Each structure stands twice: as C-alpha cells, then as structure tokens.
Amino acid sequence: MRIKICGITQLQQSLAITQLGATALGFICVPSSPRYVSIEQINLATSHTPDHIDKIGVFANSTIFEITKVVSLSSLTGVQLHGDETPLFCEKLRQALPNTELIKAFRVRSWEQLETTPNFTGCVDTFLLDAYHPQQLGGTGKTLDWQVLQSFRPSLPWFLAGGLTPDNVLTALTQIHPDGIDLSSGVERSPGDKDLDKVALLFSRINQL
C-alpha cells in the first residue's frame, strides 16, 4: 500500500518520514495554503530523498503553464489536481506531462459525485478521495463516510485522504481497502510542521494489519 504524507515543508522531516516508511511525499503548490512551498523549497526538501520515493505536487485550479513550469524546475514526479479540473484539462495536462503521474482528487460531498470518476479514467493515473470543506481544499481534519466507500470500486488505483490519524487509520482500513492513504493534518503539530512521533505511531499501527 502506498503511504503519502502531504504538506511537507522541511528537509529533515522529509528524510525522517521516508525512513519511517512513507512511499510518497506531498508538496502544496497552492499559494493560499498555509503549507505552501516554493520550487526552491521543494528541491531542498527532496535533495537527499531516495529516487524511489514519489514526490507529488498538489495544485488547485492552476494553469497548465504554471503546473508544467513547476514540474520542469523541480524534482516532482507527480501532480495532484485538487481543484475543479475537468477531464479535458487533465487530457491536455497529460499531453504536456506524459511521464508524470497525474492524481485527480475529489472533495466528496455525495455518492453522486463519485459517479463522475469514470470520466477521468483515460486521462489520469490515480484517484484521491478527500473530505469536502467549503473554504479549505485539504488538510481539514474532516473524515469521509467510510461505510459509504465500501462499494467504491474504481478502475484506477486510489488514495484515501480526509482526517486520517494514527488513532483512526486501522478503523478506516478494516472497513475499506484503498490502494494508498494520504495524511497531512493528522500527523502535524501545526500546518507544515510534522510531528514525527505521530508519523512513527502511524506506521506502527499500519504494521499491525
């Protein structure tokens, strides 16, 4: 299972988190976010991380030019689209970044919204389900209704996000079986400052499965 810790801002924390077992690091490329990092900060934070660790940039309603610029100037290996991007936008981004993993995030308000995910199947590689918040794009601490997701069977691999913590991750993973999990605020002291004790506890809990 893929384990992504999102909202990374610091080199030492990125190194420690990968050593604890994370398979992917997430970097927020949305300027309005309290976890925002520049291209220079991304490159510094990943300067000593192993090549096999995925480095995912999170964007929301950015232009293709903006996204491709950040990818070309950074160590990012993937792009997570966390806004209102359409399948057509994803197709155009795929043409611009043919060798970059594209993750389409859905801030889920209802089951009907999940019924739109097949529209993206041909233009992205991975889905991510996050909890909806009217003002915040992610890192809200709000959880999804995991029981509803028991019947979610997309044709692409998918991450579960939204309010996951070391205390509830086993409950979530015994109810549903995503291909990966994504945590941010659930392993933080404050936005962008990860609590390595919580990260270590997360992996000890996951290893119980």
Catalytic residue numbers, as ranges: 6, 130
Indicate the SS3 state at residue 172.
Answer: helix
Cβ–Cβ < 8 Å for 39, 70? yes
Concatenated DSSP letters for 83-148?
S---HHHHHHHHHH-TTSEEEEEEEES-HHHHTTGGGGTTT-SEEEEEE--SS-SS---PPP-TTG
Which residues, 6 or more positions from 97, have their beta carbon under 8 angstroms from its beta carbon? 67, 68, 71, 79
Q: What's the one-letter identity of residue 47?
A: S
- For 21, other C-beta atoms within 10 Å of its C-beta total 15
